[in-house]
Structure formats: C-alpha cells, structure tokens
Amino acid sequence: MKSISIFKNELFLLFSAIIFNILLLIYSVSNLSISYNEAVIYFQKVNFLSIVTNASTILFGRNDYALRLPFLVLHFLNIFLIYKVSKPILKRKSDRLISAILYMFLPGVLASAILINEAGFVIFITLLIVYFEQNKMFKSFVFMLLVSLIISEPFISLYIAIIFFGIFKRDKKLAIFGLIFCLAWFWLNGIDAYGKPKGYFIDTIGVFAAVFSPLIFIYFIYTIYRIAIKEEKTFLWFVAITAFGICSIISIRQRPSLEMFLPFCVIFMPVMVRTFFSSYRARLPKFRIKYKFTTIIVLAVLFSNSSATIFHNFLYFFLKDPKDHFAYKYDVAKELAKKLNELGISYVKTDQNLALRLKFYGVLRGKEYILSRSKNDNCDQTIINIKKLGKQIDKFYLCKII
C-alpha cells in the first residue's frame, strides 16, 4: 500500500510539474509573434510542418496559440515518454520524476515546445523507437523507422546509431535494417557539402551548451565518456553519442544543421540522472556534501537559463539595442498589427519579410499606406512605437499615399 501511495504521489508531482511547465510555455507564447521563417513555412512551403500548423489554425483560428499548439501537445507527450523510457534505466520512481522534470525545463526543450520546428516530432518518434527497442517490440520498432522517413532529414544519425548498435550487439538483423534506412535516407536527401571549408566547432559547442544549459552540457559530455570506458552501452547511449559525434565532425568543415542532431542528445537525460545518482549514493552521507553543493549550482544555472527562455521580455531592459535580443525576430509583428488595426488599417505597403509576418495577423499588402522604419519627410506620418513592458523595442513610420 505504501509503494502504491508513493507512486500515486509521484505521478501527481509529475503532472503538477507538467501543468506548471505548460502554463509557463503558454505565457511565453502570449509574448511571441510569428517570425519570418515561420511565416514562410506557414504560407509558402508545402511540407510536414506547414500541413500541421495550417491544420491547427483551421481548427482553432489563426492566432499564435493555435499556431504553436501542436508543438505544445508534442512536448507533453514527450515528457510522458521520457518518464516511460526511464523505467529500465532508473529503478527508483523518484529518479524518473527528476529525469522528466529536468528534461522538460532544458532551455532547448522549452524553445522546441513553442517554436515551429521539427524537434518535437523527432524526439517523439525517437523516444517511441527507444521504447520499442527496450521492450523487444521489433515490428513496432521497424514501423516507427518507416514513419521517420516521412520527416526523413533529421534521422540519419539515428539510422547510423542503429547500425553501430547492431554491430555491437552482434545483431545482424538490426544492423541490416539500420543500413537499409541509411541508404533510403541518402536516396531521399543526398549529401550536401557546401561552401568553402570553415570551422564551426566552437559555435556548435556553444549552441549545445545553450540548449542544455552550460553545466548540464558538461555533464552530458562526462556521462557519454564515462559510459564509453566502463559502463553498459545501451541503445540510448549509441543514439546520443552518434548524433553528437557526427555533428562535431561536420562542424569542423561547415556549419551543421543542429536541429538534425540536438533532439537525439536531449533525450539522454535519464542516463545522466542514473550516472549522477550512482556516484552520489555510492558515497557515505558525510562525503556527499560536494555533490549537493554542485547540484545546487547546476540547478541554479539551469533555472536562470530556463527563466531567460520563458521570461525573455525582461531581457530587453538590459540591452542597449533591442535587436541584440535572441528572441527579437519573434517579436514586434503581433503588436504592430494590433496598432494598425486600432488605426483602422488593414492594408499596407512594406518590405517583403514584414508583410508576410503581418499577413498572419490579418494585415495584407496594399498601396494606400506605406509602412517603414525610415522617416519620409514627403508626407504626413504617424509614428508607431512598439514597446515591451514599457521599453521601446522598435519604431515605424506610417505614411498615407495621396
């Protein structure tokens, strides 16, 4: 009875953490505008992401919440799957809870939950594949690999990991399937080696550190290395090290497409938690002080990074130039469209990028008004200031054509 009570309590804590996490993300969505790249996906491309986002806005209306709803739903499902995948790795239910909570608050995971990107789908499919491998459900495993070909491009490192894992386990069938899917990937996508060779390794490491938060990323590297030299090598380890290894090698020559590799690394969290608690619990209580102190520092850094992702508006107060803000390209458009609607204006002539963003909020291309960031002395102008929390982040000049 006691174990059942503890389990129910942990499930309650997990869902409480998920609800809190989702509420924070909804708040973050309320402060976002559609970016130009997102608008291109929504209006101009015909691919998996455009179909999903258009379907959502058809069902729930054209607004930012509907636009980002599919990614929030996937985020919720991925947290649940992380908890399930943790079961064979973490024997204690409390450890699984910690693993899921740490995962859901990683800065990169938070960003993938509210921006239009493939990461959530990649994580979802990969976690299902890992779950089916853990439970020896080979038919379901192969079926999800077939599903992965729908998105296709990000999964090459997963297919290579399957080859390596099959060879390591001396499982010819698994290695052959990995090879088949690798060949299918190359047939669908080809190989793209572009531009002059240039090193982006440091930049790539910086992005990884931002996605994990710096100290957790260091522990990610340590865990991968530790398992490589002296611990059991699971399929999840092969997935993470293959993605990180290929990404690092590519970055020596050119800038890698990080969305093809990062999703396979953030799901390594259960193994990182296991490694930490194995070291922590192997020591007597009086020798655990440095671990507790280190944990406090790591969690404090994670909290600050995650808070910056959610409450990014407040960072404008500390920046001289608002355009230096990492989320600037996701700001302005919604507020600008609202100001134009208040003026009774639904048609403007402006630059192509801004016009496509405004289109999402119902402001279309027209010739009666010119909207620009440059002042035009040849006409009477209305100045439109865009502010966040009282601080001006942009200014536009609206000129009526006579």
Same domain membership, residue 134 and residue 97: yes
Share of the chain above pLDDT 70, in %: 95
Residue type, 140: S
Of the three residues 283, 310, 337, the one that is the final residue of a domain is 310
CA atoms within a 13 Å half-sphere pointing along the CA-CB vector of 156: 21
Q: For residue 349, give its domain range.
A: 328-400
pLDDT per residue as tens digits for the range 126-144:
999 999 999 999 999 999 9
Residue 270 CA to residue 92 CA, distance in Å, equals: 12
Residues 228, 294 within the same domain: yes
pLDDT single digits (tens) 291-333: 889 999 999 999 999 999 999 999 998 888 888 888 899 999 9
> CB under 8 Å to 187, separation ≥6 — which residues?
none
User: Is the model more confident about 9 or about 262?
Assistant: 262
Burial of 360-378, coded b for 16+ CB within 10 Å and e otherwise, reads: bbebeebeebbbbeeeeee
Q: Are residues 385 and 284 in the same domain?
A: no
User: Tell me, what's the pLDDT at 1?
Assistant: 44
The pLDDT value given to residue 194 = 54
Q: What is the per-residue pLDDT across 4-38, written as a single tens digit (0 to 9) for each?
A: 454 568 888 999 999 999 999 999 999 999 999 99
Name the nearest CA neighbour of 219 among 174, 272, 159.
Answer: 272
Same structural domain for residues 388 and 293? no
Phi-psi group of 390: left, alpha or beta (phi > 0 → left; psi -120 to 50 → alpha; rest → beta) = left
Residue 358 lies in a domain: yes
Checking if the pLDDT of 236 tops 70, the result is yes
pLDDT tens, position by position, 183-218: 988 888 766 655 556 778 899 999 999 999 999 999
Same domain, 156 and 238: yes
Q: Which residue has the tokens 């740490």?
A: 102
Q: Looking at the structure, tell me whether residues 350 and 271 fall in a common domain.
A: no
Q: Provide the Cα torsion 349, 323, 333, 262; round to 10°.
A: 120
Say if pTM beats, i.e. exceeds, 0.85: yes
On whether both 379 and 250 belong to a single domain, the answer is: no
Q: Is the pLDDT of residue 393 over 80?
A: yes
Cα 268 to chain centroid distance, Å, stands at 14
Residue 255 pLDDT > 80, yes or no? yes
Give yes or no for residue 229 having a pLDDT over 70. yes
Residue 366 has pLDDT above 90, yes or no: no
Give the amino acid at 62.
R
Give yes or no: residues 300 and 375 share one domain: no
Model confidence pLDDT, tens digit, residues 41-67: 999 999 899 999 999 999 999 999 999
Q: Is residue 317 in some structural domain? A: no
Radius of gyration of the chain (CA): 24
Answer yes or no: is 341 within a domain: yes
Report if residue 55 sits inside a domain: no
Mean pLDDT confidence for 245-255: 89
Last residue of a domain, one of 284, 310, 336: 310
- Percent of the chain, pLDDT > 90? 69
How many structural domains comprise the chain? 2
Average pLDDT, the chain: 90
Q: Do 263 and 217 belong to one domain?
A: yes
* 377, part of any domain: yes
Residue 51 lies in a domain: no
Q: 93 and 197: one domain? A: yes
Q: What is the pLDDT of residue 3?
A: 47
Quick one: 302 and 333 in the same domain? no
Specify if 145 maps to a domain: yes
Residue 87 DSSP SS3? coil
From 253, 280, 310, the end of a domain falls on: 310
Residues 296 and 349 in one domain: no
CA–CA distance, 174 with 171 (Å, rounded to integer):
5
The distance between the two most distant Cα atoms of the chain, rounded to a whole number of Å, is 82
145 has pLDDT over 60: yes
In a domain, 193, yes or no: yes
